[in-house]
Amino acid sequence: MNHRYFIGLFLTLFAVSMVAQEVYVSPETLAKRERRKNLTVKEWNTHDKTHTRWLDRVTTYDEQGRKIEEIEYATYGQKWRKTFEYTDATGGKVAKEVEYNDKDKPVRICKYEYNTNGTKAKQYNYLPNGKLESVKVFEYIFQE
């Protein structure tokens, strides 16, 4: 048997093992989520000279403490909005993210895959019509 066969076999077994294993969620992450249950955070800006206040960002968390929506505002209204979806397969990490423009129309859809240690493995970027635009692969290099 040749070298390529073993590499292919290894990669196939590795991919299957990654899918079969549950993604790890740290105790620290779980503690943060506990504090964020059903929380809405509004960020306000104040102009230094006029003391005029305006809403900058609103972040909303669900009953499990996971971020489900983030809205960025400008003086004219909404700049953009993102929604976040989760699945059991991601172990509580974002599975899908949809970004909307100032007219609340989808502009980009991202779907994520994770490594067994919880780090991002791949990000698939789709156009609003569902066509795959690009794939981002995450590589982690640790220095000693």
pLDDT tens string 48-72: 999 989 999 999 999 999 999 999 9
Contacts of residue 90, defined as CB under 8 A and 6 or more positions apart, other chains included, come to: 23, 112, 114
Stretch 97-123: mean pLDDT: 96
Q: How many CB atoms lie within 10 A of CB 93?
A: 20
60 neighbors 78 (Cβ within 8 angstroms) = no
pLDDT, tens only, 3-38: 454 444 444 444 434 444 455 677 887 788 889 899
88 neighbors 70 (Cβ within 8 angstroms) = no
Closest by CA to 115, choosing from 12, 9, 22, 11, is: 22
Three-state SS string over 19-37 comes to HHCCCCCCHHHHHHHHHCC
According to the model, what pLDDT value does residue 34 have?
A: 87
According to the model, what pLDDT value does residue 58 have?
A: 98
For 23-137, CATH number?
Answer: 2.40.128
Domains of the chain by residue range: 23-137
pLDDT band for position 75 (cuts 50, 70, 90): confident
Stretch 114-125: mean pLDDT: 94
What is the average pLDDT score of the chain?
Answer: 85
Contacts of residue 20, defined as CB under 8 A and 6 or more positions apart, other chains included, come to: none
- How many helices (H) and strands (E) would you count in the chain? 2, 8
According to the model, what pLDDT value does residue 24 have?
A: 64
pLDDT above 90 for 121? yes
